A and B are shown apart, each in its own frame.
Chain A
Amino acid sequence: MKVAYWPGCVSRGFTPELHGSMALVAEKLGIELVTLDRANCCGAGVIAEHNQELADTLNARTFALSQQTDLAMMNICSTCQGAQSECQERLDADSAYRSHINEALGGEGLEYVKGKDGWSNKNFLWLLVEEIGLDALKAQVVRPLEGLRVGPFYGCYVLRPKTRLGYDEFPDRDLYLEHVIEALGGDVVDYDGARRCCGFPVITMNRETSLRQAGTHVGDALDAGADCLVTPCPLCHLNLDMQQPEAAKVVGRDLGLAVLHLPQLVGLALGFSPKELGMPKHIASTVAVNDRVATPA
């Protein structure tokens, strides 16, 4: 499988371990990544908050760049998925609006085509379950994550609103993380935070609200017996992992729970070492996870 790959900004910024682990795992799963290196930021909802047309045009440009490759597009960030799906919904809803946006792309020889044959924009989680399939994933597992207790953390942008995010066609998208954890041989931890907000979007605006959200979810997962969380969203990772020591202060308790990016969890089961997957770069120690999966592949 070959995909037009949009890594997003954060996976090359403050979560470089995500970009790195995705490259390793993609190769192992037979996904060839054609990186869209000319593509721009999705706007993360912030540009849309400033100027909707600007966000729509910027994302239409990314879609058009990927369509130029004649490949389907893959992203690795819940926030990119949500922000881009929001723009796509508007672009697809109205042909005149689409033409207006496409005029802005004409200078670069680009055009976004609605419903282009074979084109879609899916994050790695959706692609893993819908295109590769859980059985094929299972067949690749060389080190089942037996006994590893994993709490799923989705990120709002791949959950809501369902009408925009393809749930009509794929109603179980809000259960995929659980399915993947099981396919890898791990145990799913049921806790309150799985589908809540990490708080990241207001970290610079209302730090306490933001960190209380992150700290509460990490604490709930710990109380439910989790060894780690797994998330397909690097922005959630920033709040749940990078800010975890600060979140601990706000909720007034010790935390210390590893938070893995989705490709890292998959990578462990596919036989990569925690170091290869960049886990030592995390702020919350991943040693407990390393110990659990220490048995050689």
Chain B
Amino acid sequence: MAEYTLKVRRYQPEPGEDGVARGAYWESFDVDLDPTLSVLDGLLQTRDRQDGTLAVRCSCRAAICGSCGVKVNGQSTLACKTQLGEAAEEAARIARRTHSADIGREGGAAADSVGPVGASDPASKDELSTGGTGREAEDSPGVIIVEPMGNMPVLKDLVVDMESTHWEKYRRVTPWLIPEGPPPEREYIVPADAMVDVTQSVACIQCGACVSACLSMEADPGFIGPAALAKAYRFVGDPRDGQTTERLYDLANDPHGIYDCTHCFACIEACPKGVAPMNQIMRLRRLAGDEHDITDVNNGRNHELAFVKIIEKKGTLDESLLLQESFAPGVKGKLMPTIRAIKGLLQSIPTAIRGIRTGKMRSVPKLIPGVHHKLPGDSQDHVKRIYERAEESRIELNLYVIGEGGEEEHLPGQEGAASEIVSAAQAEEVSGS
């Protein structure tokens, strides 16, 4: 047994006995438990023995039901999957980050104490910030900071309103199968490979940890978000579904859809089940753009294609050409530029002028798109050959399926392995059959 301190971000919406609403505040509780027990065990012991009003949602206590999503030391996770001993060690590690870290803390603390910042503001900004997580100079290094999830309104203490954000976004992606034609008389026959492909997104337990961690949603609350988009892939990738193109078109042409993800990996880090939502979003982009030829409202596909083409031709990035081709691709894009393209290019002019003024962009290759040099010698030819080969075979290795660090012997074309290294060509065959 060991003693741990849980410093909990609390929020009481109702006035207390004195008639005064306390709003949001920090409260510390000491618990005496084995280091291998969980932060959830600590919270439940606190509720049982110290303060019956502490609100926390939970059910299975075994990382299956997805009810106890919280932030521990600033990281979105499940309270039941985080051991007290490890959480205290991590808290102490973060606290050691620097000796001079008290600078700026004053600002953070002041912001914290004014009203229910973390509570009423759905985008509580404590995520990923070792500072601002409520840790104060007088706290001992091992104090475990527990907060409600981010990006969702707090109802009471550690209980957030998942309905208004998580579930609403979830419903947005039509999370059920829409088969083509009437159902078969008996069960659907689905090739095993095709289901292996969606295994990872099926593993989601809807805990909302990724939504809590999402840095895009923090800046754009309208973003459909990681949990819902991972679920969208689950149906896009299912060969029984008859609405694949429609789903992809819908997700690509919502300005808050698949091209609103900033690729920050926060959802991958937060997910307790290894769903890697961001990877599923990238697969949706790959399918929408490259397999279904869908041009999106955010210009994401044009940007991707422009980038890919530039590296094939030049080997390294020609930034001014990227900007030009992203907005006005090819001859057609220049002869008939869209309003969006004109707006995008105009918006970048002030930035370019500033860059020329300071000298940052004062060179011919940076000013004139396409003047950028190629790789020396025959290197560019080798890069081109790499393109030819990879664009033909398009192998997609899924580490979730083959197992990370498991290493070796998933030989393509050999027994057992071929099914796991699914090329896009094979995947297409499957979905077409």
Contacts and interface: CB of A to CB of B under 8 A. Distances in A.
A94 B397 contact: yes
B382 interface: yes
A178 B97 contact: yes
Interface of B: 93-94, 96-105, 107-108, 111, 125-132, 215-216, 218-220, 223, 255, 259-266, 268-269, 282, 285-286, 289-290, 298-300, 303-305, 307-308, 311, 315-319, 323, 326-327, 344, 347, 350-351, 354-355, 358-361, 366, 375-379, 382-383, 385-387, 389-391, 393-397, 399, 402-412, 414, 417, 421
A61 B303 contact: no
Contacts of A162: 269
A208 B131 CA distance: 26
A14 B262 contact: no
Contacts, number: 311
B360 A61 contact: no
B282 A202 contact: no
Contacts of A178: 97-98, 101
A225 B103 CA distance: 8
A282 B308 contact: no
A199 B261 CA distance: 9
A204 B317 contact: no
A192 B404 contact: no
A245 B354 contact: yes
Contacts of B261: 202
Interface string A185-227: 0011111111111011110111111101100100010011110
A242 B103 contact: no
Contact of A93 (B128, B290, B389, B404): B404
Given A50-B290, A179-B98, A41 B317 contact: yes
Given A45-B263, A50-B289, A172-B93, A96 B417 contact: yes
Max count, chain B CB within 10 A of own CB: residue among A92, A93, A190, A225? A190
A195 B409 CA distance: 37
B14 to A, nearest CB: 29
13 contacts: A40-B375, A46-B307, A47-B308, A51-B394, A53-B390, A93-B406, A96-B410, A97-B395, A179-B97, A181-B98, A190-B130, A199-B262, A226-B104
A242 B220 contact: no
Contacts of A17: 360
B99 A38 contact: no
A47 B307 contact: yes
A141 interface: no
A51 B299 contact: no
Given A189-B104, A206-B259, A283-B360, A9 B402 contact: no
A90 B397 contact: yes
A50 B286 contact: yes
A290 interface: no
Max count, chain A CB within 10 A of own CB: residue among B262, B308, B387, B410? B262
Given A46-B303, A104-B390, A171-B93, A205 B132 contact: no
Contact of A204 (B303, B315, B358, B366): B303
A61 B289 contact: no
B220 to A, nearest CB: 4
B321 to A, nearest CB: 11
A185 to B, nearest CB: 10
B366 A38 contact: no
B387 A54 contact: yes
Interface in A19-47: 37-38, 40-41, 43-47
Contacts of A213: 215, 218-219, 262
B407 A93 contact: yes
A201 B385 contact: no
